[in-house]
Amino acid sequence: MEYVDTQLQDICNRAAVRRLRRHAVKAVVTWGCFEDYEKTKLRYECWPVFEFRRHKLIIAYCLSPYGQGQPWFLVGTEEIAAGDFTWCPRFATLEAAFRASSACPPKWLAGYHDSDR
């Protein structure tokens, strides 16, 4: 996905980029289910992009009404299997999603001062 490559280029921490690339998976569309305020289940295309098996975590890209401006989701492997993304944390950038994940070593967080976390 070209958008993923653009997001990777925007990450200054090269070690983080290497780690993300090592955990890249073939982006195959899956259907993410989101529950709206009326408790209606809505389905949208989502793409698992990075998988961290040790952390039971997937970083997914999803364009849904909930993802406007925040298309990156942290999804547990159980949620991806169930297809329910309703309560998954979402982020504006891939870097922000990675930094908020358990797959990001705490020592890499030093020096970040932006508000995208």
pLDDT of residue 19: 93
End-to-end CA distance of the chain: 23
User: Which among 15, 13, 43 has a CA at the least distance from the CA of 31?
Assistant: 43
Residue 65 and residue 43 in contact, taking contact as beta carbons nearer than 8 Å: no
- What is the pLDDT, as a whole number, of residue 101? 92
The pLDDT of residue 117? 38
Q: Which residue has the higher pLDDT, 8 or 88?
A: 8
Predicted confidence (pLDDT) per residue in 63-104, tens digit:
765 556 888 988 888 776 666 666 678 899 999 999 999 898
